[in-house]
Amino acid sequence: MDALSETLRVVRLVGAIFINARFTAPWCYQSPPAASAAPLLEPGAENVVIFHLITEGECYAEVGEAAPVHLVAGDVIVFPQGDAHRMTSEPGVPPARPGAQLQEVLSRRPRQLVYGGGGASTRIVCGYLACDARLARMLFAGLPPLVKVNVRGSNAGMWLEASVRYALAEARSPRPGGAGVLAKLAEVLFIEVLRMYVNEGAEGRTGWLAGLGDRIVGVALNAMHARPAHAWTLDELAQVAHTSRSVLAQRFQQIVGTAPMQYLTQWRMTMAANLLCRSKAPLAQIAEDVGYQTDTAFSRAFRREYGVPPDAWRRHRGMAERDAAARVPA
C-alpha cells in the first residue's frame, strides 16, 4: 500500500458538503477562518479544511492581499491553512452584508443558497474535511494558502463531480441516506484532489505531498508506511530507494523538512495515537504494532512527541471526545 493510502487508512477523516450555492453576478461571499467555523461544522475536530467545487460558470478566489485566482467549472480550490477568503464574481466586488448567522445557515445540510445581482450564473459546492491536527500539519506542510486543481482532467474527477450533483439532488428527496452519501463523496473528492496534486509533481515544491511525488523520497516514504514497525536504518532505506544514504538524507530533509529517521518516529507516534484513541488494545500491543520491543521504550518516545504518557493521553482524548459529542445538537 502506498504512503498516502496508508495514511488515510490509519488516521480518521470526516468529510461533509454543507452548502450548495447558486450565485448570479455581481456577487461576493466572505468565508470566515476555518478555525472559527470548525466548532459548527464538526464539533470536537482538531482541524477543518474548507474546499469549494465549481460546477458551473466561473469566479475568483481571494486570500488576503494576494492576487485573485480565476476559477472555472471543474476546479476544486482548497485552503490548507484555513485562511479566511472571498469567493467573488470578479475582483473588487464588496462582500455581501452579513445575513443569517453561520449556525443558522448550517442548521440544515446541504444548505441551498441563492444570491446575487441577476447576471451570469455560477454554482459552487462547499465542503470540508476534518482531521487530526498532526495529520493536517503533515499533509499540508509546504502548501500555499490556496491550492487549485481541475477534476475534469481525470476520469475519476468527472465521475465524482457527476456523483456530487446526483447526491445533492438526492439530499432533497425523502429517501434516507442522502446526507451519508454526500459525506463520503466529500471525503473521496478531497482525496482525489490530493492525488492529482501529487501527480502534478511541479519542480521546487516542498512538503509531505511533494515528497510522495519525488522519485527518491517517495520510495522511502512508501517503504516506511508499508512497514512502519520494521527496524529501518538509513542505509536500508537508501538501498530501497536506489540511492546513497547521503543523497536520501539531504533530499528528504530538503523536501519533507525532517530527517528520515525522525519522520519514521513521528509517523509511528501518529499511528500509536490513533490506536490509543480508536481501540482498547493494551500499551504493550500498541508498542509492538508501531515498532517498539517494550512498552517502556514506547512510552518514552510517545511522551517526547505528545508531552504526556500514552495512558494519560488516551484518558484525556476519551473525555474530550465524550464532551464534544455531548455538545452536538440533537
Pairing of strands 111-116, 14-24: parallel
CA angle 39, 144, 116 (to 5 degrees): 60
Residue 276: its pLDDT value, please? Answer: 92
| Measured distance CA(305)–CA(326) in Å, rounded | 29
Residues above pLDDT 70, as percent of the chain: 89
Q: Which pLDDT band, with edges at 50, 70 and 90, does 319 fall under?
A: low
Pairing of strands 121-131, 58-62: unpaired
Judged against a pLDDT cut of 60, whether residue 324 lies above it is answered with no
Judged against a pLDDT cut of 80, whether residue 80 lies above it is answered with yes
Give the DSSP letter string of 21-80.
EEEESS-EEEEPPHHHHHHHHSTT-SEEEEEEEEEESEEEEE-TTSPPEEEETTEEEEET
Q: Which pLDDT band, with edges at 50, 70 and 90, does 329 fall under?
A: very low
Model confidence pLDDT, tens digit, residues 188-214: 888 888 888 888 867 788 999 999 999
Residue 93: its pLDDT value, please? Answer: 92
Mean local confidence (pLDDT), 45-69: 93
Q: Which helix (H) or strand (E) holds 176?
A: none
Residue 167: its pLDDT value, please? Answer: 81
CATH of segment(s) 209-319: 1.10.10.60
Residue type, 20: N
- Residue from 186, 197, 194, 201 nearest 53 by CA: 186
Model confidence pLDDT, tens digit, residues 255-291: 999 999 999 999 999 999 989 988 889 999 999 999 9
Residues above pLDDT 90, as percent of the chain: 52
| Measured distance CA(310)–CA(274) in Å, rounded | 11
Model confidence pLDDT, tens digit, residues 221-243: 999 999 999 999 999 999 999 99
Global confidence as pTM:
0.85
Mean local confidence (pLDDT), 116-124: 95
| Measured distance CA(101)–CA(104) in Å, rounded | 5
The residue among 174 and 202 whose pLDDT is bigger is 202
Judged against a pLDDT cut of 70, whether residue 162 lies above it is answered with yes
Residue 98: its pLDDT value, please? Answer: 59
Residue 208: its pLDDT value, please? Answer: 94
Model confidence pLDDT, tens digit, residues 139-158: 888 889 999 999 887 777 78
The SS3 of residue 114 is strand
Residue 40: its pLDDT value, please? Answer: 81
Mean per-residue pLDDT of the chain: 87
| Measured distance CA(256)–CA(88) in Å, rounded | 34
Residue 163: its pLDDT value, please? Answer: 86
Judged against a pLDDT cut of 90, whether residue 303 lies above it is answered with yes
Mean local confidence (pLDDT), 322-328: 53
Domain boundaries defined on the chain: 3-199, 209-319
CATH assignment of 3-199, among 1.10.260.40, 1.10.490.10, 1.10.150.120, 2.60.120.10 = 2.60.120.10
Across the beta sheet with 69-72, the strand order is: 28-31, 85-88, 58-62, 69-72
| Measured distance CA(239)–CA(242) in Å, rounded | 5
Judged against a pLDDT cut of 90, whether residue 137 lies above it is answered with no
Judged against a pLDDT cut of 80, whether residue 174 lies above it is answered with no
Model confidence pLDDT, tens digit, residues 100-111: 556 666 666 678
